[in-house]
Chain A
Amino acid sequence: MSEQVGKQKKKLTRKQLIKTWLTWISFAQMNYNFERLQGLGYCHAMTHPIKALYEKSEDIKSALSRHLIFFNTESTWGSMIVGITCALEEENANNPDMDPSIINNVKTSLMGPMAGIGDSITQGLVKVVLLAIGIDLAIQGNALGPILYVLLFTLYTVGLSYILFFQGYKMGKSAIINLLSSNVIDKATDALKIMSLMIVGGLSASMIRAKSALVFTLGKTVVEIQPILDNIFPKLLSLGALFLAFYLLKKKEKSPTYVLGVLFVVGFVGTFLKVLG
């Protein structure tokens, strides 16, 4: 009885948790490399809970070594895994019967799914919508374009990773299993696809510049093609350029570099033949 009272349960303070989260979202990829990817960044973030939870030098050594393994995920959504790991380390420090290898098993099994969700939402949707707004303003010479883009994107990365980190810590390892089994993510991704596709359509009209320079002479009248096209179907050539790129990328499975080459050829040959201008 007295022994149990003397062995007070170790618990991470809010300050220590915030430090861990902040280190993760700041330095996860400082030493990004092909061998371990975010491995060292992960260990760096975990130094805060390790220092707080372990006193014996043996425990510190094995905990540090543990967190240097290969790790790679999307850092914003992956914050949740760091939160879960904090909860697991806490458990490990209090429970001598726990097998610490569980910690790395959880990390390794969760990094893939979180990267999948994170990459498609952060890079495929959030970035695109915010970039579209930013480019639209910047192309008119408005400095608010890049400023708004950076502010809103950072609000997303900081805000979301904070929420997910603490959710992960609170729920422990059941956290992501809960999230993955509900179809909230699927539904949100689908809905955001609709929004993104509309934006892609709008962008193809406003950002791809393609104009015909063709001119026909019928007797004494000179007929320019572009104004006629503008009357029938404005931006038809822009849409055509988009479908050419899309066709090569998706249906022919060509690399972006190949498509870039094709666009260069079209641009140069088109200009020399006075078809495009």
Chain B
Amino acid sequence: MSLFFTAFLVALITWFVATAMPMFLRWSCYFGGPLVAGLVMGLIFGDVTYGLKVGATIQMAYFGLIAVGGALPSDLALAGYLGTALAMSVGLEPSAALTVAVPLGALGLLCFNARMTLNAVWVHKAETYAKEGNIRGVKAMNLFASQLFPILTYFIPSFITIYVGSQGLVKFLAYVPDVFVKALSVTGGLIPALGIGMLLSYLWKKEYAPFLFIGFILSAYLKINIIGIAVLGASAAIFFAFQKEKEVV
């Protein structure tokens, strides 16, 4: 696949997931952007296993990300789809991919905020149509006009990042000393602590703290995988829900 076509495809997917995808699908494909991108970009770049590992590694950093009231701490379409694609196009180790994705996610907030500001224009246009009783006009504003600015703020930067950025990054990486690459990989291993830490502060309740340690021991000592822990956790949750009900009655 030519670089031009790859860049086009990556940019198209990034824009689509960020703003145009039906909302019921966007819940999973946006908030799990990096994880899903691992598979999608794996197929595009022809190495699914590599893609999955890169995507899953990036996803860990954004594990506990919660968007409330239209405010986002980081843009997951750019960190996920563009980040995975950029890391794969220069052949980065999965553990070092985060160092590409995290800055992209932060820059992505610019794309996000730009379209959140500009798109207000279409509501005013829709208001004019509403006053004329023009249902079709109102629909067209929501369905089509709404995508004009996102194409400018998501598609174009993503295209440039892959088309120009990947070649520049390859040259740059050739000059980076080994200890630096090693440090990137070590940091990449630590970053999931941020995502999981964000989630922990959201869920935190002193009385339930023992369950955190039970989960930790199940994994660290007994090597039970996440599905096993989820089933045990669900059992505990159901048990305690009924226990509480009895107390109330």
Contact with B along A7-51 (1 / 0, CB 8 A): 000000000000000000111111111111101110110010011
B193-A197 in contact (CB<8A): no
Instruction: Mark interface residues in B195-233 (1 if CB within 8 Å of A CB, else 0).
Output: 011111111110011011111111111001111011011
Of the candidate stretches B133-141, B156-164, B166-174, the one touching chain A is B133-141
When A43-B138, A256-B194, A267-B186 are in contact, do A149 and B211 touch as well, CB less than 8 Å?
no
Q: Does A117 contact B (CB under 8 A)?
A: no
- Indicate if B14 sits at the interface (CB-CB under 8 A): no
Taking a contact as CB atoms closer than 8 A, the residue among A50, A119, A161, A202 that contacts B226 in the complex is A202
Chain A contacts of B212 at CB under 8 A?
Answer: 197-198, 200-201
Taking CB atoms and an 8 Å cut-off, the chain B residues in 59-79 that contact chain A are 59-60, 63-64, 66-70, 73-74
Q: Is B191 interfacial (CB 8 A cutoff)? A: yes
Knowing A31-B146, A143-B39 touch, does A136 contact B192 (C-beta < 8 A)?
no
- Flag if B69 contacts A72 (CB, 8 Å): yes
Beta-carbon contact of A245 and B194 below 8 Å: yes
A27–B143 alpha-carbon span in the complex (Å): 7
Selecting from A89-97, A100-108, A125-133, the interface stretch reads A125-133
Contact between chains at A245 and B196 (CB < 8 Å): yes
Judge whether B244 is part of the interface by a CB distance below 8 angstroms: yes
Interface members, chain A 234-251 (any B CB < 8 Å): 234-235, 238-239, 241-242, 244-246, 248-250
On chain B, the residues within 8 Å of A30 by CB distance are 19-20, 142-143, 146-147
- Counting chain A residues whose Cβ lies within 8 A of the other chain, the interface size class is 35 or more
Q: Are B216 and A239 in contact (CB under 8 A)?
A: yes
Q: Say yes or no: is B119 at the interface (Cβ < 8 Å to chain A).
A: yes
Question: Within the assembled complex, what's the spacing in Å between the Cα atoms of A161 and B42?
Answer: 32
| B241 pairs with A190, CB closer than 8 A | yes
- Inter-chain contact B193/A242, CB cutoff 8 Å: yes
* Chain B residue with Cβ nearest A248: B197
A127 to B57, CA, bound (A): 17
Interface residue A146 (Cβ < 8 Å from any Cβ of B): yes
Chain A residues with Cβ under 8 A from B4's Cβ? none
Known contacts: A191-B237, A194-B236, A206-B219. The answer to whether A150 contacts B191 by CB under 8 A is no
At the interface, yes or no: B1 with Cβ under 8 Å from chain A? no
Is A135 engaged at the interface, CB distance under 8 Å to the other chain?
yes
Given the interface contacts A26-B23, A27-B143, A35-B123, does A210 sit within 8 Å of B215 by beta carbon?
no
B25 at the interface (CB under 8 A from A): yes
The answer to whether residues A193 and B208 also contact, given A30-B146, A31-B119, A61-B133 and a CB cut-off of 8 A, is yes
Tell me if B196 and A203 are in contact (CB < 8 A).
yes
Q: Which residue of B lies closest to A24 (CB)?
A: B23
The residue that B183 contacts in the complex, of A239, A242, A268, with Cβ under 8 A, is: A268
A-B contact pairs, 10 of them (CB 8 A): A75-B23, A131-B31, A132-B226, A187-B241, A191-B237, A197-B205, A202-B226, A203-B196, A206-B219, A208-B196
Question: Which residues of B are in contact with A by a Cβ distance under 8 Å?
Answer: 19-20, 22-29, 31-32, 35-36, 38-39, 42, 48-49, 52-53, 55-57, 59-60, 63-64, 66-70, 73-74, 95, 102, 106, 115-120, 122-123, 126-127, 129-133, 135, 138-139, 141-143, 145-147, 179, 182-184, 186-194, 196-205, 208-209, 211-221, 224-227, 229-230, 232-234, 236-238, 240-241, 244-245
Other than A30-B146, A245-B193, give 13 A-B pairs with Cβ distance below 8 A. A31-B142, A33-B119, A35-B123, A135-B63, A139-B53, A193-B203, A194-B208, A197-B215, A204-B219, A239-B216, A249-B197, A249-B201, A268-B187
